[in-house]
Structure 1
């Protein structure tokens, strides 16, 4: 006789299965060192938050215009906005990891409920307590007492948990269409409305409005707590429906077959033989498949926006910021795709292993294609040269450095990638496989290390000498690209059976 599982038993079983799946993942051993590095980065973040807590506590203790509780409530909307953006780098949506369970004989919302519960109880929601608790100990306890401190921490914690649901819902909608970006943009525009709407628009009006919950907390009024509970409950209900609809759409939805009216061909590339064939493959992969196409379009849009910001404002005119954004803009278009190198190819990697050196030709085609893409940020940043914010020598040296050393580093990910990334399914990618810690470390290296090198060189030499050294480093790797690409190819071949097993098991 079979017994029917209760909803809680079902949720508990699914969460246990997810924990076991993480331990049995093909990349578990590979990612252990990377997870340690991420843990170290978290410790630095924790230290930074505690330093901010001390700074804000000193401000609260010195100010007479508002109380310490009111000041934290004024800061909370900005903190939650930063939290929302940070979740894009770390948090998966429930729908991303629900796919393997949707066809099981489970209650309608059981899978989504399990993973929403997991997001509600995630340790990540406690991160901002590293800012709020020390702040409260130094500023709130001595003014209001322990009970008020606990009340403030509970309200802030509920805000962080509600933010997790808000992020999960909006991220899922954004994955379906870029137009959904208007939702968070509109929401945060409304949150910041006191800064630019009304007769008294400005920071004082903003502080006066958002200090009202703080005043209520200080008086032990219950309405801030009720408001947060209602907000959290509403977001959970909305998120539950959005996640379920998203999963159903991709798992059982049907698409109408459309007749292709015109096929874009690149016949001129055929004269280059196998290399030209793989170059065509790279171009058509970006044109025809949803995920790589969205990734490259997103990177181009951000590149244009950053260039416009630098050209039209003086926010980033300092030498350090100019160097940072110039290097960042050059690496952005290529890194968006290349950091996932071989992930998309994992869908058909079996065919690439059929003929000798197919993979090498693919790597060479990718290198040429993304080197050519550097012309886009180079052209977009030329107005900064005309405006006197950058020099042409600087742009040239950074472009060559990116083409050489930066691409050398990022191409190493091809050796260690063992996970197939879906070409078109975004919301229900199998097991949430895009959270690769090795890739995260490579991203950290290519975005942070060059700026450290430039800053160090500029303290020792003149700007032109620094640009010359960066140009020389880049040229060395550009001229030897065939050597290091073949080295990457040979290392991939030595791991091909292990990698092939990973690609096939994660499709």
Structure 2
């Protein structure tokens, strides 16, 4: 097992990406250290925060209630963001190494992941400062292993969800949706799940025998993840499944070259890990309406505008921020073949529009809360299609970093340059600026109409906008191609 870890370290250290990104790795290390210090500070001062938030409750009971939210959000975020440790077993199959060792390795390595470290840092200062000072010795001895066992349970369940997602994505979404529904019910005080969760901890610490419950959960989740890895570790089965599940989108052929290019975009997004993950993360924002659309926020146009941009456009924004970088691995082919750059840009525009319209209709039921939401989201839809696409496409022409489509999204900044970060300032600032002008004039409701009109005018001038992007792309395409060739 140690030799496998050593091999992985040498592979990472000798890779060209590591050599080119030493400064980025140092920066990420500083960001990680800063995040850990913040988590430690939050845990250390948690008792003071909880005393103000839950004045009538015991601090330890309140912290146990908060753990319900932590474990729920932790599982969802792990599924969306955490990159699983991967070992390419093909090079080891001819060596005298047990296959079980190769399968146990990524599971055991994941125990030392950054997410698990953050979870432990979140509970450790509170445990030392509060629980050890106020609770019995038995409570202290049983509480800490129980929480660590549940953190590990989430860690191994993430393996199961990610591997199972490739075969049964609908079931995984139902599981994550169910967790989200539990959180919403608890947030809205419809049904409390955090209170029974706190009482469960009191039960676990009342008798040493009950420590077996979280231990069994951790071991069971490990066994489940191992069994799933074992069933999917045969190269022949993987080849068959990928061949069987491939989609050709032949119905797009009737739309000529633009249809073919949209089909390529769909295949690239659905078949590769990073674009698919970013699209899925964007769909998570569709549920943000439950957080934003509260009764006290329905008269605040600024909150409603920001919510509209996030809810109806996050999925499209996530995908479009790397609009041309997604094609980096075959960008030379696009330049060498007789493919119209205008049609290439137009296919990107239509793909962006389809995602925005789908998100708009999915979130349309929020209008049942207030018709004002539907009005604002409609204006934001026009703004996104007309203005946001132009801003993102123009900024994407400055990206010269190759994107590995197979890598995960967590702590992955490939293709992300300064332009990708700066472009989000006007994306959110322009709608707010429109609203600010009309609010200063005493007509805040007209800011929404102005936003929609600007978007419609931009859509009507679509040919002119695409022509501007085309000129910029033609000007930058050879610099982009040189950057995309660098691995």
TM bin (shorter chain): 0.7 to 0.9
DSSP-derived class of the 1:128 partner: helix
Contact 2:331 2:484 in 1 (8 A): no
Over 3 Å counting, the alpha-carbon distance change for 1:215 and 1:367 in structure 2 is same
Verify: 1:483 aligned to 2:476, yes or no: no
1:306-455 equivalences in 2 (<5 Å): 306=287, 317=298, 319=300, 320-342=302-324, 345-346=327-328, 348-355=330-337, 361-371=343-353, 373-378=355-360, 388-390=371-373, 392=375, 395-396=378-379, 399-401=382-384, 403-405=386-388, 407-409=390-392, 412-413=395-396, 415-421=399-405, 429=406, 432=408, 436-438=412-414, 450-451=427-428, 454=431
Contact 1:406 1:446 in 2 (8 A): no
Verify: 1:229 aligned to 2:215, yes or no: yes
Contact 2:366 2:373 in 1 (8 A): yes
- Distance between the aligned counterparts of 1:382 and 1:190, measured in 2? 19
- How far the C-alpha of 1:88 sits from its partner, in A, is 3.2
Deviations 1:286-338 (A, max 9, x none): 26984279949976994996599799996974635432331123323423543
For 2:202, the equivalent position in structure 1 comes to 214
- How far the C-alpha of 1:70 sits from its partner, in A, is 3.8
Which of 245, 251, 260 aligns to 1:280? It is 260
DSSP-derived class of the 2:166 partner: helix
- Distance between the aligned counterparts of 2:225 and 2:253, measured in 1? 44
Contact 1:374 1:399 in 2 (8 A): no
- How far the C-alpha of 1:448 sits from its partner, in A, is 7.9
The number of equivalent residue pairs is 469
Contact 2:82 2:410 in 1 (8 A): no
Over 3 Å counting, the alpha-carbon distance change for 1:211 and 1:19 in structure 2 is farther
- How far the C-alpha of 1:232 sits from its partner, in A, is 1.8
DSSP-derived class of the 2:403 partner: coil
Over 3 Å counting, the alpha-carbon distance change for 1:206 and 1:131 in structure 2 is closer
Contact 1:393 1:467 in 2 (8 A): yes
For structure 2, the residue ranges without an aligned partner over 5 or more in a row are none
- How far the C-alpha of 1:389 sits from its partner, in A, is 2.0
- Distance between the aligned counterparts of 2:51 and 2:342, measured in 1? 59
- How far the C-alpha of 1:165 sits from its partner, in A, is 1.0
- How far the C-alpha of 1:280 sits from its partner, in A, is 2.5
- How far the C-alpha of 1:281 sits from its partner, in A, is 2.0
DSSP-derived class of the 2:373 partner: coil
- How far the C-alpha of 1:47 sits from its partner, in A, is 8.0
Deviations 1:247-280 (A, max 9, x none): 435775436789999943544x44xxxxxx1442
Over 3 Å counting, the alpha-carbon distance change for 1:261 and 1:437 in structure 2 is closer
For 2:71, the equivalent position in structure 1 comes to 80
Verify: 1:494 aligned to 2:470, yes or no: no
- How far the C-alpha of 1:16 sits from its partner, in A, is 2.0
Over 3 Å counting, the alpha-carbon distance change for 1:472 and 1:435 in structure 2 is farther
Verify: 1:118 aligned to 2:101, yes or no: no
Contact 2:12 2:18 in 1 (8 A): no
For 2:151, the equivalent position in structure 1 comes to 160
Over 3 Å counting, the alpha-carbon distance change for 1:128 and 1:448 in structure 2 is farther
Contact 2:434 2:447 in 1 (8 A): yes
For 1:241, the equivalent position in structure 2 comes to 227
- Distance between the aligned counterparts of 1:400 and 1:471, measured in 2? 6
For 1:58, the equivalent position in structure 2 comes to 51
DSSP-derived class of the 1:211 partner: helix
- How far the C-alpha of 1:115 sits from its partner, in A, is 2.0
Which of 144, 149, 169 aligns to 2:160? It is 169
Contact 1:311 1:383 in 2 (8 A): no
For 2:271, the equivalent position in structure 1 comes to 291
DSSP-derived class of the 1:437 partner: coil
For structure 1, the residue ranges without an aligned partner over 5 or more in a row are 1-7, 196-200, 271-276, 422-428, 503-507
- Distance between the aligned counterparts of 2:147 and 2:277, measured in 1? 37
| TM-score (normalised: structure 2) | 0.73
How large is the RMSD of aligned CA atoms in angstroms?
Answer: 5.1
- Distance between the aligned counterparts of 2:289 and 2:51, measured in 1? 37
| TM-score (normalised: structure 1) | 0.71
